[in-house]
Structure formats: structure tokens, C-alpha cells
Amino acid sequence: MLTEFTPVAALAGGALIGLGASVMLLFNGRIAGISGVYKGILRPVPGDLFWRIAFVGGLVAAGLALMFLAPSAVAPTQARSIGMTAIAGLVVGVGVTMGNGCTSGHGVCGLSRFSRRSLLATVTFMATGMATATAIQVMFGGSL
């Protein structure tokens, strides 16, 4: 549940994501869609693997650095079981496959390029996420 609004942190985080996506497109000619980058690691194309591994490695390294520098920033707000986490990951994976991309690819990169397909995908997964969160809150009190 949202307990505090931090507009400066949100703005800084959004600016960094936008900057990273812009740098990726400008210097690599690639869309910074995390699911697509990761898929390219699982199904590598010769000569296209190193940058993908470096990109995902950078995401992991940044998360680990944040965990050590500001543990409260990544601390879970509610305990979730391994089973529920696995189910949530599976559902996200199915959604990413059905939508041919994820929030970073469609929501950040696609919308900034005025892609109608990305607009539809973003509206769909945002609405689905809101409906799911609301349903869990109503049915289970958010305790899953």
C-alpha cells in the first residue's frame, strides 16, 4: 500500500530511466525493452550477446548496489510466499509474451516514439495491473 509520495525521487528515477533508454537508442540503435534484451540472452544471435549480458549485468549490479547503500529502498513492504512470487512472475511472463514487450519497451521507449501499438499495450497492462491489485486488496486485504 502506498504510504508516502516522494515526487523528487520519482522524478529522478524517471529521468534516469529516460536517459538510459535514450542512450541505448542513440548509441546502440536498440530499444531498452528488458524482456527483449533478456530474450536475446536466452536465444542468442551470434555477435549480439555481449551487450545484452552487459545490460542485464548492469541492472543486477545497480540493484545490488542500492541494496547495500540504501537497504530500506528495496525492503519488501509485505511478506510474499515463494509460490505467490513464482505465480506472479509466470503471469508477468505470459503478459510480456502476449504483449510482445514489457513496460520498459512499450511504456518508456514505445510511447516516446508515439507508437500506437505501445500505447494500446501500455493502457492494457496498466489497467490489468490496477484491476488485479484492486481485486487482491478487496478479496484478500492485500495479504497474499
The pLDDT of residue 127: 93
Q: Which residues contact 63 (CB under 8 A, 6 or more apart)?
A: 74
Are the C-beta atoms of 55 and 27 separated by less than 8 Å? no
Write out the three cell numbers for 89. Answer: 512472475
Residue 16 lies in a domain: yes
Q: What is the pLDDT of residue 13?
A: 87
Of residues 140 and 56, which shows the higher confidence score? 56
- The tens digit of pLDDT for each residue in 86-128 reads 888 888 888 888 888 888 888 888 888 899 999 999 999 899 8
Query: Is residue 70 assigned to a domain?
Result: yes
**pLDDT at res. 43:** 92
Give the range of the structural domain holding residue 35, as residue numbers without chain letter.
7-140
In a domain, 22, yes or no: yes
Q: So what's the pLDDT on residue 142? A: 62
Does 2 fall in a domain?
no
Render pLDDT for 33-85 as a digit per residue (tens, 0 to 9): 888 898 899 999 888 999 999 999 999 999 999 899 988 877 776 777 788 88
Give the pLDDT of residue 108. Answer: 87
DSSP annotation of 114 reads: T
Total domains present in the chain? 1
Residue 92: inside a domain: yes
Apex 34 CA angle, 50 and 67, nearest 5: 90
For residue 98, the model assigns a pLDDT of 84
Q: pLDDT tier at 143 (50, 70, 90 boundaries)?
A: low
